[in-house]
Amino acid sequence: MAQTKKVEIRQAILDAAYQLFSKHGYSETNITDIARSAGVAPANLYVYFPSKLEILFSIYGPWLTRQFDDLEKSLLRVRDPRQRLQKILTMVWRDIPSADNGFANNMMQAISTTTVREGYSPALRLAIEERLAKLLDGCLLNLDHARTRGLANIVLMAFDGYALNFHLKGGAVCPSKQLSLFADMLLNWPPAAAGRRAAAPRKRSTDRVGANGPARAAG
């Protein structure tokens, strides 16, 4: 019975924090606010979570995972590489940054005010990066996995910026033209550009052009 009560209190804390983070943001929400909303004493809250950052991670990890679950399910019905890529970029650069009143921006706020020493771990970010790289593998057949992994990192860096933009610019999202431009750039990437040897420089001609037309240089 006691264990069930603990689970309920923990969930009440997470629910309260989610509502406050969504409405006010991570920076404007403190432990006292969360405890009061959850109906527990601040000291009791620390029994369940050592910090506000830990509360956010406990919410954000499952939240972001669900977003990617939905993306993967939606891609099952899409076969065309161009449409798959467009859907991935739309989800990562538009839909997730704007979801739940821009909830992703809470992580931007948290990371900007913390350090690894204070408990930040990149594990979630790296797992999502690998997951995104595998999705890109399915539509960018001209790139190997090492390159799609690097590309996934770039896409997530841009995701951070779009999450911040949504918060700072009153709901601004990535323009459709930018999505299409980036998709076209990736799909038109030369298939073997990395392994292809650079073309040899053209040999300088020994001919010289005179007033009456070309003439062979003296040997």
Residues 118-138 pLDDT 10s: 667 889 999 999 999 999 999
Classify residue 216: in a domain, yes or no.
no
Question: Mean pLDDT of all residues in the chain?
Answer: 86
Sign of torsion over alpha carbons 88, 94, 99, 104: positive
131 and 36 share one domain: no
92 CB-side CA count, 13 A: 29
Q: Are residues 88 and 133 located together in one domain of the fold?
A: yes
Looking at the structure of the chain, the number of domains it has is: 2
| Same domain assignment for residues 75 and 161 | yes
Tell me the CATH number at 10. 1.10.10.60
pLDDT tens-place string over residues 180-203: 999 999 998 765 544 443 444 445
DSSP string, 59-124: HHHHHHHHHHHHHHHHHTT---HHHHHHHHHHIIIIIHHHHHHHTTHHHHHHHHT--GGGT---HH
- Decide if 65 is inside a domain: yes
Residue 108 lies in a domain: yes
Q: Is residue 26 part of a domain?
A: yes
In terms of domains, do 33 and 135 share one? no
Element (H, E) at 186: helix 176-187
Single pTM value for the model: 0.79
Q: Over pLDDT 90: what percentage of the chain?
A: 74
Considering the domain architecture, whether residues 106 and 21 belong to the same structural domain is answered as no
Domain identity same for 42 and 144: no
Residue 213 within a domain = no
Q: What single-letter amino acid sits at 135?
A: L
Q: Specify whether 39 is located in the same domain as 64.
A: no
- Domain with 9, as residue range(s), is 1-49
